[in-house]
Amino acid sequence: MARTAQTHPFEALKPERIVAAIESQGLRVEGEPFALNSYENRVFDWRDEEGRRFIAKFYRPGRLDNEAILEEHAFLDELEEAEVSIGPVWHNEHGETLHEHEGYRFALFKALSGQPPELDNPAHLFALGETIGQMHAVASRRPFMHRATLSPGTVASQSRTRVLEQGWLTRRQRSAYERITGELLHHLPVEAWPVSSLQRVHGDCHPGNILGRDEHFALVDFDDCTMAPAVQDLWMLLSASDPMEWQQQVSELIEGYEQYCDFDRRQLSWIEQLRTVRLLRYSAWLIERWEDPAFPRAFPWLSEEHYWDQHIRTLEQQRVALQQPNWLA
């Protein structure tokens, strides 16, 4: 379904404005910043006059308030102090981490080198478990006060409503989508999981947000950090479709994790619920961001009937997975 895009604030974020923003903090940019593959925010890799690599993140206007962003930065400082492998946030001479230039809020981070992990490599899974366990040992010390708490039923219901109200589906698709998403919602808790299970988590811990070499990995991009069960930072690293292989991956990941903190294995029963929420949220997120011209350029298939047919089939398969998850195999 076609949409008429209005001028979006990110469209005015030209290279000269990016450089001016960075240099407003007393740094000097050598060359032109390189745009990374990021859509929720705008993220750039750049070097200073000494050849040091940094990441500049320009936050999406209106998405998060300053308190939530600063709480993410404080969490990164806490992790860095505990020697957890992360991409640390940069502080200016006044100790500030969140900056503003011509209406754009931005932060700078130390750039890390490396490659995403190989999820079929047991040594990598063990090492990932260690890194996340070390991070969670720090994260469990106190809660977030300004970040959201992951409430599966609420997020799924809101995502369903967003898709249905925007008119992207044909009549046939709408009927199928209403039916299958209604069934999926019955499998999700209305509110968050038990309070005792909630802690600070990375929130979007997939291989694209992990960099490393050999068996040493670091976590980057804490933009979605939230209050959620520990398993939220583990389940996206379990890639096997065969139940036995999946169980082996779980074993390696948790063994590494428990070098630093205990893992409540009852949370494994929540993985398919988390996957359901992510599937529903992804399509709704694309629709919500469609007025940003970067989205139609990057995801043109969203307006195609074929995408929604496939999405509905995926949700049908997820209904089966909820009824017979791998952890019970």
Q: In this structure, what DSSP letter does residue 203 have? A: S
* Measured distance CA(130)–CA(133) in Å, rounded: 5
* Measured distance CA(198)–CA(229) in Å, rounded: 5
Q: What is the pLDDT of residues 271-299, one digit of tens each?
A: 999 999 999 999 999 999 999 999 999 99
Of 77, 214, 221, 264, the catalytic one is 221
221 marked as part of a ligand binding site: yes
The order of strands in the sheet holding 104-110 is 29-35, 42-48, 53-58, 104-110, 99-101
- Distance from the Cα of residue 147 to its chain's centroid: 14
| b/e code 108-131 from CB counts within 10 Å (16+ = b) | bbebbeeeebebeebebbbbbbbb
Joined together, the tokens standing for residue 93 give 């001479």
Q: What is the pLDDT of residues 52-87, one digit of tens each?
A: 999 999 999 999 999 999 999 999 999 999 999 999
Domains of the chain: 9-110 (3.30.200.70), 122-328 (1.10.510.10)
Low-confidence ranges of the chain (pLDDT < 50): 1-5, 329
* Measured distance CA(264)–CA(172) in Å, rounded: 42
* CB 229 within 8 Å of CB 102: no
Of 48, 120, 204, 223, the catalytic one is 204
209 marked as part of a ligand binding site: yes
| Active-site residue flag, 223 | no
Does the global pTM surpass 0.85? yes
- Distance from the Cα of residue 62 to its chain's centroid: 18
